[in-house]
Amino acid sequence: MEAKQDLKISGAGSAGGGIYDEVKISGSGNINGDLECNTLKCSGSADIEGNVAAKNIKFSGSAKIRGNIKAETMDVSGSVKVNGNMDTDEIKVSGGSQIIGDVKTKKIKISGTSSIDGNLHGEEIDISGSINIKKDCESEIFKASGSMNIEGLLNAGEINIALHGRCRAKEIGGENISVRLSAFGDSIVAKFLKSMFSYRRELITEAIEGDNIYLEGTTAKIVRGNNVAIGKGCYIEIVEYSGEIKIVDDGKVEKKVKI
């Protein structure tokens, strides 16, 4: 087997695509083709014209990829823009990322900000930063404690949302759905913040459908489920339930229908 070479750009430079072992861009680099490598590290500014296939990717500078990304792990602490689709095992975003296509991954952890114009398919999604998804979001486990805006359907087996700010989803569906107001809300800092800004912890959605549903701070047109509990700060127009309904802490429900 031929040994693969490394590619290092540390000043300003450009290279064609190709197959490498390690690629490091620490200055400003242009890559004018498809790139296949073992590890890709960008700490400067990078512009990749083609597709990227790599085992491990680390972006700590600013990078722009015009094609698709296929990788095992991807770590973003800088800012990244991807014009194509992404197919990975694990993504960590603590910086900012913008993806124009679809994202498929086993695990994704977002503590920074991320915006996805396509669909997000994952097995484990963990959001403590903020996320913006233009289409649907599907996952086995969905955990969010930051802010989120999903313009399509949020579909997950386990949905756990701790409300710290304003969250939106067009529709939510799944097996176990739990939305809770964050504990932080009653602290002095929060009260201070509330008086300073229009700080509201709420989830706004059209419809929620699931087997077991627990809601706080949620405004929805319709909630359908087997066992439904409506708690503090909720305003629900219609609840349709087949098992039990519980309304606690002044949750507001306009109409209850047992099916």
Nearest to 138, CA basis, from 117, 128, 148, 124: 124
If the CB atoms of residues 25 and 161 are measured against another protein, the closer one turns out to be 161
Residue 259 CB neighbour total at 10 angstroms:
8
If the CB atoms of residues 90 and 240 are measured against another protein, the closer one turns out to be 240
For residue 173, the minimal CB distance to another protein (Å) is: 4
Does residue 87 bind another protein (CB under 8 A)?
no
Residues 165 and 148 sit within 8 Å (Cβ to Cβ): no
If the CB atoms of residues 58 and 224 are measured against another protein, the closer one turns out to be 224
Residue from the set 21, 206, 249, 254 that interacts with another protein by CB under 8 A: 206
Does residue 211 bind another protein (CB under 8 A)?
yes
Give the binding range for another protein (CB under 8 A) out of 14-22, 39-47, 169-177, 182-190: 169-177
d(CA 188, CA 124): 33
Does residue 183 bind another protein (CB under 8 A)?
no
Residues 72 and 57 sit within 8 Å (Cβ to Cβ): no
Residue from the set 47, 75, 102, 138 that interacts with another protein by CB under 8 A: 138
Does residue 18 bind another protein (CB under 8 A)?
no
If the CB atoms of residues 112 and 210 are measured against another protein, the closer one turns out to be 210
What residues pair up with 154 in beta bridges, in sequence order? Answer: 137, 172
If the CB atoms of residues 237 and 250 are measured against another protein, the closer one turns out to be 237
d(CA 219, CA 172): 12
d(CA 108, CA 127): 8
If the CB atoms of residues 86 and 208 are measured against another protein, the closer one turns out to be 208
Does residue 124 bind another protein (CB under 8 A)?
no
Does residue 84 bind another protein (CB under 8 A)?
no
Residue from the set 176, 178, 182, 219 that interacts with another protein by CB under 8 A: 176
Does residue 104 bind another protein (CB under 8 A)?
no
Residue 166, both tokens: 């304003």
Does residue 140 bind another protein (CB under 8 A)?
yes
Phi-psi category of residue 141: left, alpha or beta, with phi > 0 → left and psi -120 to 50 → alpha: beta
Give the binding range for another protein (CB under 8 A) out of 9-17, 32-40, 57-65, 137-145: 137-145
Residues 225 and 210 sit within 8 Å (Cβ to Cβ): yes
Q: Which residues contact 52 (CB under 8 A, 6 or more apart)?
A: 34, 35, 36, 40, 65, 67, 68, 69, 70, 71
Residue from the set 24, 70, 109, 224 that interacts with another protein by CB under 8 A: 224
Residue 184 identity:
F
How many angstroms from the chain centroid is the CA of residue 19? 31
Contact residues toward another protein (CB under 8 A) are 138-140, 155-157, 171, 173-176, 206-207, 209-211, 221-222, 224-226, 237-238, 240, 259
